[in-house]
A and B are shown apart, each in its own frame.
Chain A
């Protein structure tokens, strides 16, 4: 532990050194373009050093239980988003180097939710019930922690650095709220929900799945890249229990219509009424808590909501 703290300290020290580099020295000799490239490289180095520092902290704290000694205060502060920026789109079809369990029973949930691991029996006292698919920077996930203190919520996100940001955010919140033991019930993992959802969850394990402001993939030819399609809905229906809810929200009207249409046409889903939406606390949460939702709010955009209940599996399908 001590060594890890030291590394974290050294890393933050190195970060300061990098900050001090003067990107404009020798400017007279360089063309603008070269300077720009160098500047970009330096900024990326800065961001990388910051993330490395955070990574050391993460290694120390990720699996830590309450009794862990407090690390350097600087290292566990809430992470700053600008160091984790990443290209907006990730191709859900490509063969990312992903870590995923061979099957749900192989998943070591205790690594994500150490407080819910019963060491005497070697089992988890609770299972993940709420999933935020494509959780982005984790705004909703953080809200779910306190809105559903009795339930485990999981964010699934395909972009590495965005996932790391959420991870660091949760670590910091756990540290800051150690006494109240809050935020132990939320976690994030990097994964491609369109391919590997069934590797993580058993049949009927989930009671809620959120799809907040999913990537719109405007072009007709890219529609299969959308995270809600009729064929994927069958897989989501598998991991959702009967009576479970799929929540969708988007600012893109076309996408809203498209998602609602595919959910409506799917025999295992039924739309919830506007009345129901009004009274559901999760609808309220997802309206404003996600980073994307807040951006839409700032730009005074519209938000379209559609929620669907998972219907019982037909009797003739065991």
Chain B
């Protein structure tokens, strides 16, 4: 049995599909599903953690030796024991070696991923004339786990948002790696970041960041120390931000709320609120209940939006929406005033992990225990309705996946957005 595909993206033309499965990256030709590029992350997560831990201990020891007296004085003052770095051992939580996010540069000549194992961004040059179209340009390690990356308009810089709330920028194209201690954030939140976007208005660039405390912040770029404004409207965490290609001032945001918001981010205006609860309710299961520790008799099943994408056909503009761990895809059509009208609820046989729009179809990675088919294809008809299509493509692509597992128990966590939800501690 094969491990399910976790991330799917595609280039604008829909000619190439990029997929990640555990620590494997695959590049596939959309016309026939042929594997044209691949990469396996050689970093062993556990080993890396142990190495980093050892290095830290060394450093700490050195420091302690260097200012023995000062430390002793501080310790007395604080009247507290020095906290120890937790040692990874048999009891420690498993560290999964997988790719958390994947994106293309704007000119589509670079592929950028982030790894959980060593908290790095990996940047690949794409060259379709090579046997393996992916070649690693660099691996930049960050102090905290990167969650989302995007390139600037000119693709010169890669903007990286991390788990600690900080945003960094690194050179996108050269192979120079910056030492961890020399990395300085260009902006930050005091909250885990879930998504970063570089948007444009009138030739000027802006960085939009979404966090676990319902905040969306708009900062100028490159003068990222100037905050332009916040977009207030969410009550729960923000997990997706999507700029509409037909009008770059329009932003769709969603996360832990029962609704999506449509904004004119430039004018700082909320344009529409799209309620999802009623539509998604039939697809929610007990897996959408809060973790046991926080479960109460009246706890509702919770909705987490995992992806929104725009599809255009002629004058028709559609929003395709996926809620985490559900067996459905929702589509909405954009009206003139940017309000959204529900168009279709496509129910699927399996839960969808991720999807990508490839030309006039939705290709979905599904949560199945299967040896030969890890994907499903749904094609838009002339009236923009999605229909399931039996296609060889899904099987051909699945063949290229080499991650064998013995059963569901060996799957990496496929759904983690729900863990962003804040549960009160005090």
B223 touches A267 (CB 8 A): yes
B187 touches A224 (CB 8 A): no
A229 at the interface (CB under 8 A from B): yes
Neighbouring B residues of A192 by C-beta, 8 Å: 190
B423 at the interface (CB under 8 A from A): yes
Partner of B225, one of A97, A224, A266: A266
Neighbouring B residues of A97 by C-beta, 8 Å: 424-426
Neighbouring B residues of A95 by C-beta, 8 Å: 422-425
A165 at the interface (CB under 8 A from B): no
B219 at the interface (CB under 8 A from A): yes
A94 touches B425 (CB 8 A): yes
Expressed in whole angstroms, the minimum distance between the Cβ of A146 and any Cβ of chain B is 33
Q: A195-B190, A218-B74 are in contact. Are A103 and B232 (CB under 8 A)?
A: yes
Chain B: CB-nearest residue to A160? B426
A267 to B204, CA, bound (A): 19
B227 at the interface (CB under 8 A from A): yes
Expressed in whole angstroms, the minimum distance between the Cβ of A134 and any Cβ of chain B is 14
B220 at the interface (CB under 8 A from A): yes
Q: A195-B191, A231-B185 are in contact. Are A314 and B232 (CB under 8 A)?
A: no
Expressed in whole angstroms, the minimum distance between the Cβ of A194 and any Cβ of chain B is 4
A234 touches B426 (CB 8 A): no
B223 touches A96 (CB 8 A): no
Expressed in whole angstroms, the minimum distance between the Cβ of B104 and any Cβ of chain A is 28
A318 to B164, CA, bound (A): 29
A234 touches B187 (CB 8 A): yes
B40 at the interface (CB under 8 A from A): no
A238 at the interface (CB under 8 A from B): yes
Expressed in whole angstroms, the minimum distance between the Cβ of B358 and any Cβ of chain A is 38
Expressed in whole angstroms, the minimum distance between the Cβ of B347 and any Cβ of chain A is 34
Q: CB within 8 Å of A: which of B162-197?
A: 164-166, 184-185, 187-191
Q: A95-B424, A231-B185 are in contact. Are A198 and B228 (CB under 8 A)?
A: no
Neighbouring A residues of B74 by C-beta, 8 Å: 218
A232 at the interface (CB under 8 A from B): yes
Expressed in whole angstroms, the minimum distance between the Cβ of B5 and any Cβ of chain A is 32
Chain B 223-262, CB within 8 Å of chain A: the 1/0 string? Answer: 1111111101101000000000000000000000000000
Neighbouring A residues of B224 by C-beta, 8 Å: 234
A195 touches B213 (CB 8 A): yes
A127 at the interface (CB under 8 A from B): no
Expressed in whole angstroms, the minimum distance between the Cβ of B268 and any Cβ of chain A is 10
A67 to B65, CA, bound (A): 66
B230 touches A198 (CB 8 A): yes
A232 touches B225 (CB 8 A): no
Q: A199-B232, A232-B190 are in contact. Are A237 and B225 (CB under 8 A)?
A: yes
A102 touches B235 (CB 8 A): yes
Neighbouring B residues of A238 by C-beta, 8 Å: 227
Chain A 94-107, CB within 8 Å of chain B: the 1/0 string? Answer: 11110000110000
A114 at the interface (CB under 8 A from B): no
Chain A 191-215, CB within 8 Å of chain B: the 1/0 string? Answer: 0101110110001000000000000
- Which of A194, A224, A231 counts the most chain B CB atoms within 10 A? A231
Q: How extensive is the interface on chain B, given as a class?
A: 20 to 34
B426 touches A231 (CB 8 A): no
A35 at the interface (CB under 8 A from B): no
Chain B: CB-nearest residue to A235? B227
B425 touches A234 (CB 8 A): no
B424 touches A96 (CB 8 A): yes
Chain A: CB-nearest residue to B224? A234
A27 at the interface (CB under 8 A from B): no
Chain A: CB-nearest residue to B231? A103
Neighbouring B residues of A235 by C-beta, 8 Å: 227
B424 touches A313 (CB 8 A): no
Expressed in whole angstroms, the minimum distance between the Cβ of A183 and any Cβ of chain B is 29
Q: A97-B426, A224-B164 are in contact. Are A317 and B220 (CB under 8 A)?
A: yes
A92 to B228, CA, bound (A): 24
Partner of A232, one of B188, B215, B223, B426: B188
Q: A102-B232, A237-B225, A314-B226 are in contact. Are A231 and B423 (CB under 8 A)?
A: no
Neighbouring A residues of B423 by C-beta, 8 Å: 95
Partner of B226, one of A93, A102, A230, A317: A317
Neighbouring B residues of A231 by C-beta, 8 Å: 165-166, 185, 187-189
Expressed in whole angstroms, the minimum distance between the Cβ of A177 and any Cβ of chain B is 34
Q: CB within 8 Å of B: which of A158-179?
A: none
A268 at the interface (CB under 8 A from B): yes
Partner of A317, one of B164, B215, B228: B228
Chain B 406-426, CB within 8 Å of chain A: the 1/0 string? Answer: 000000000000000011111
Chain B 210-226, CB within 8 Å of chain A: the 1/0 string? Answer: 00010100011001111
Q: A102-B235, A231-B188 are in contact. Are A96 and B425 (CB under 8 A)?
A: yes
Chain A: CB-nearest residue to B167? A231
User: Please, could you name 13 A-B residue pairs with CB atoms under 8 Å apart, sorted by A?
Assistant: A92-B190, A95-B423, A96-B424, A96-B425, A103-B230, A192-B190, A195-B189, A229-B188, A230-B185, A232-B188, A234-B224, A237-B226, A317-B223
| Known contacts A195-B189, A267-B223, then 14 further A-B pairs from the complex at CB < 8 Å, ordered by chain A residue | A95-B424, A95-B425, A96-B426, A97-B425, A103-B230, A198-B227, A199-B232, A232-B188, A232-B190, A234-B187, A237-B227, A266-B225, A314-B226, A317-B226
A-B pairs, top 10 by smallest CB distance, nearest first, are A231-B188, A103-B232, A97-B424, A238-B227, A95-B422, A194-B190, A317-B226, A234-B225, A317-B220, A195-B190
